[in-house]
Structure formats: C-alpha cells, structure tokens
Chains A and B, each alone.
Chain A
Amino acid sequence: MRLIKRFYILAIIAFLYAPILFLMFFSFNQGKYSGNWEGFSIHWYVKLFNDKQIMKALYYTVLVAVLSSAAATILGTMAAYVIFQMKLRTQKLVLNVNNIPLLNPDIVTGVALMALYASINLRLGLLTMLLSHITFSTPYVVLSVLPKLKQLSKDTVEAALDLGATPFQAFTKVILPEIMPGVIAGALIAFTLSIDDFVISFFTTGNGVTNLSITVYSMARRGISPEINALSTLMFTTVITMLLIVNKRIEVKDI
C-alpha cells in the first residue's frame, strides 16, 4: 500500500516535470528537433540572445511588469485602506466589483478592455497593455492587503494619533509597516501575474508591442522552435532562483 502511494506520488510529479525537463534538456541540442539528440551545443541560446524580436518582447515584459505591479501596489493598498474603513454594506459592494476581474474569464476581460480602448480611440500598444495589467492585478493586491488591515488593532492607530501623529503620519509610520507583508505579497502576485499574462495582453496590445507570452504563442503556432526551449530553461531557472532567494530571506527573518 505504501509502495503504491509512493509510486503514485512520484508518477504524478514526474508527469508534471517531464515536459519541462525535456525542454531544458533539448535546449542544449545541436539539432532542431527535440527527440533527435545531435550533440551538445549552446547555439540556441546564442540565437535567442540575438533574436531582436524576443529581446524586445523581454524588454516590454519586464517594463510592463515593473510599472504595472508598482502602480497596482500603490493603487491597491490605498484602495484596501479606503475599503477597510467603509461601512460593511458599501464594502461588500466595492469588493464584489473588485472580484469581477478575478472571476471573469481572462478572454472576456481581454475583449472587454479591447472594446473600451476602441470606444475612446486609444491605439492598442504599450499604454493599453500597461493599463490592462494594472486593471487585472490591482484586485489581487487589494485582496492580499485587506486581511492584514483587518488584523490591525484599532488601538494601535489611535495610539499613533494620541502620540501626535496626523492621520497621514499614522498611515505611513504605523499602518504601512504593519501591513507590509500583505503589500509585498500583493506586489509579488501583481508582478508574476503580469510576467505570466498572455490572454489579456494578447487582446490589448498592438503596434509591434508584444510580451514574451505573445511571442512564444506566435512562434509555437508556426511550429517547433528550439529557441523557445532555451527561453524556457532560462525562465524556469530564474523563477527557481527567485523563489529560493525569497524563501531564504523569509527564513532569515523568522530567526
């Protein structure tokens, strides 16, 4: 029984990782087709870094992720603070609106935003993609900050006011430091969502501005391209490194 259990767990983990490891392995293949090992080579990586289109997409991906997550973090934290102070009924209403982008299929959010930009004659491009990313990631920031605000004791805020802090100072000196874990978590979610997004970006960008997901999509539709293997390897190792760093820092903090 225990053997079956172990085998089962390992089989599923293998199922989850096989394709990724497969991509990584064949990113070092000399030949074009994965499945045919023709010798070790890093020329797909060289090709990747020389591919202007991919490098441009990478640039836009990072740019949009940084800008949109920063904006979403500020907007969402402020919003959470306002929502937190609302009466319960208003709070519920606002949160329901907040949850729409979470529940709505991405494709609907994408076409709806596309329709919005068209109706105000905004040309699809970097700006529209940025606005869209802020729109779909802010709700996650709100949802990760709000519980921290609810944990906050009302007394602490009053204590700050009592000691001479203006409401603004109370926010920056007492509330913000205490909800920081929620703010950081929100920022991280916003950043990863932005990096990862395909569907909404697909509908709301244009004019030569693309991100990595869109580039991968269009390359994949044209057929197999080993550059993508190289890209996957790099992205996956980046993610793992980042996770390790974040984990290490949390552990250090715990001590």
Chain B
Amino acid sequence: MFKKLSGTPYMLWSIIFIIVPLFLVVFYAVSTKDGDLTFGNFKRFADPIFISVTVRSIYIALLATVVCLVLGYPLAYGITSVSPKYEKLLVILLVLPMWMNFLLRTYAWQSLLGRNGMISSLLKLVGLGRVELLFNEGTVLLGMVYNFLPFMVLPIYTVLKKIDTKIIEAAEDLGANKITVFMKIVLPLSVPGIISGITMTFMPAVSTFVIPALLGGGKYTLIGNLIEQQFLLVGNWNFGSALSVILMLIVLISAAILYRYDKQEERVNI
C-alpha cells in the first residue's frame, strides 16, 4: 500500500500541499511564537469580542442560507414547471452569473449602493437626499444572498427535475390534491437537493471575508476577517491559526449535521 501511495506524483503532492499545511496550521494553533506548546491561543479566543464575532458569523451565514432557501426553492420549483424551451434558457441564465468573477459581482453592489451610487442618486432625485446604504448588516446579507443564491437553486432544481412524474401522477391517482402532493411527495424527495444547497451556501458564507470587507466597510467583522487580519496585518500566525482551526470545526460540525439529515432521508427512501 505504501508503494502505491508514494509511487505516484499526486500522492506526494497531496501530502506536501494538503496534509502538511493543515498540520502546520494545527501546530501553529497550539504553540506560542517561540514554538512552545500552549493552549493560550484558544484561551484568548474565549474573549467576548471574538466569541461575538464567531456567533455573528454563524448567525449571518444561517440567515443568508435561510433567505436563499426561501427565495430559491420556489424559483427552482418554478423553473421545472415552465415549458422546456424556457426551462433551458432559465437554467443558463441562472448559471451565467456564476461564471462572472466573484469580486466583480460583489463590487457591482458596492457601486450600486454607495454614497454616489445609483440608488442613492435615485433617492436624491425624489428629494430624499444622498444616503449611505453601504456598510451595515443588511448589505452584507444582501451580498451573500446575491452571490450564493444560484448555489442553492441549482442542486434543488436538479433533484426536482429527477423526480419521476409518474410518482406524482400515482399520488394524484390515489386522491392527493396539489398541496398534499407537494408536501408528501415533492418536498421529501427534494431533501437531498436542499441539503446540498444549504451546504453550498452556508459553507462559503460562514468563511467569507470579501463580502464584509467590500460591503461591510470594515465595520462589520466576521471570523474570516479576523483570520485575514491576524495573518496579514497583526502578524500573529498562532492566533490566526487557532481561529482557522475553529472555523474548520464549525464547517466540520455543520457538515456532520447535514450529513446525518441526508443519511436519515436515504433510510426513509429505502
């Protein structure tokens, strides 16, 4: 087995560029600047300031996920029910913005909402005067929803698309009305899509530092911003690594919870 693992370039590559760096981060997280082992970095994290940033990160990511789900599910469901010609077009339209650079998409909102931006100008036209719409929780949430909505819609759409229409006809044949069909058939069958949609929305949202940096104006700090600051501004790699470990834990735990839901669903399906 060892021969096989080391025998190929990619196995070596994975060890050097995937496994070793993670161990380095863990090592930094549990050591001082001088390399002595310590839990001080995690103790420091217990400070209310950092706790509140972490809680805020999870809260806003959850909020963004919920909004994406609420907006996205009806959209995915709607797309499956239009005529095939429009369906294809709509899917393309949905995918297209994902090919646009993430930074540019976020920047677009910055210039829309800024003091001299479009919306501000419109408000001025109707006599409300220029306002600063940027740099609050709402704009960060907006940025997240805007960027991650397609990631919620596409997996749900794919799963909905795969549902056999005969199953729905069978349910109707057995006397279910449209609402019952949706609640008892369509919704349960689309859970795998919802789960992967949630994963693809929550994970990047909880770890982002670009959206708060551009749309939160540095006033709205998330755990991603903390990590960035520790590594690039403060230069405290040990504390930064500890924060990274905590972020990884958040991601792992949420993945584990979602995975359990997914598994349960599979069991029900069998």
Contact = CB atoms under 8 A, between A and B. Distances in A.
B9 A216 contact: no
Given A107-B209, A221-B214, A5 B81 contact: yes
Given A8-B78, A198-B102, A105 B247 contact: yes
A233 B193 CA distance: 33
Interface string B46-78: 000000000000000000000000010011001
Contacts of B18: 97, 100-101, 135
Contact of A196 (B17, B81, B101, B111): B101
A103 B251 contact: yes
A135 to B, nearest CB: 4
Interface residues of B, number: 78
Nearest to A17: B97
Nearest to B251: A105
Interface stretch (B19-27, B36-44, B164-172, B182-190): B19-27
A118 B203 CA distance: 27
Contact of A135 (B17, B117, B214): B17
B255 A103 contact: yes
A216 B93 contact: no
B14 A98 contact: yes
A108 B228 CA distance: 10
Contact of A23 (B9, B104, B146): B104
B102 to A, nearest CB: 6
Interface stretch (A32-40, A45-53, A155-163, A178-186): A32-40
A213 interface: yes
Contacts of B74: 8
Contacts of A252: none
A116 interface: yes
A235 B100 contact: yes
Nearest to A117: B21
A224 interface: yes
B13 A138 contact: yes
Interface stretch (A62-70, A75-83, A146-154, A168-176): A75-83
9 closest residue pairs by CB, A with B:
A105-B207, A79-B10, A19-B108, A35-B121, A112-B21, A33-B116, A35-B118, A135-B17, A116-B21
Interface of B: 1, 4-5, 7-11, 13-14, 16-22, 24-25, 28, 71, 74-75, 78-79, 81-82, 90, 93-94, 96-97, 99-112, 114, 116-122, 146, 149-150, 203-204, 206-207, 209-210, 213-214, 224, 227-228, 231-232, 237, 240-241, 244, 247-248, 251, 255
15 contacts: A8-B74, A20-B100, A90-B5, A105-B224, A107-B207, A107-B227, A108-B248, A112-B21, A116-B17, A118-B237, A212-B101, A224-B110, A224-B117, A228-B111, A243-B96
